[in-house]
Structure 1
Amino acid sequence: MPELLKLYRWPIIGGVTGLVLAMLLLTIGFWKTLILLLLIGIGTAAGLYLSQTGLLDDYFN
């Protein structure tokens, strides 16, 4: 079973992502889903930037 999950890891991740996206579209609508995905992307990019530059580490230390 673990080797099967390792072999089909990316199709499984893609399928789960598609399922979650479809559920969001059906429950909250297109525009709210689009705004949610945009804000998640901005938050992820900001977190990655802060992690790489170490700005908050310098501030809190």
Structure 2
Amino acid sequence: MTELLKTYCWPLVGGLVGLLLAALIITIGFFKTLVILIFVALGIAAGLYIKKTGILSNLFK
């Protein structure tokens, strides 16, 4: 079973992301879903920037 999950890990993740997006679009609409995705992308970018520069790790030392 674990070998099967290792083999098909990324297709399963992609399927779950697609299912989540479809549920969001159906329940709250396309543009609200688009706004959520934009904020998620901005949050990821900010997190990567903070990790890359080490701002928080320097702040808490």
TM over 0.5, yes or no? yes
Q: CA RMSD in A?
A: 0.8
Match of 1:9 in 2: 9
Give the Cα separation in 1 of the matches to 2:3 and 2:13: 15
Pairwise CA distance, 1:5:
0.5
Pairwise CA distance, 1:46:
0.3
Gaps of 5+ in 2: none
Give the Cα separation in 1 of the matches to 2:60 and 2:8: 42
Give the Cα separation in 2 of the matches to 1:4 and 1:19: 21
Aligned residues: 61
| 1:1-61 to 2 correspondences below 5 Å | 1-61=1-61
Pairwise CA distance, 1:57:
2.0
Give the Cα separation in 2 of the matches to 1:10 and 1:39: 23
Alignment-mate amino acid for residue 53 of structure 1: T
Q: TM-score, normalised by structure 2?
A: 0.93
Q: TM-score, normalised by structure 1?
A: 0.93
Give the Cα separation in 1 of the matches to 2:7 and 2:59: 43
Query: Which 4+ stretches in 1 moved above 6 angstroms?
Result: none
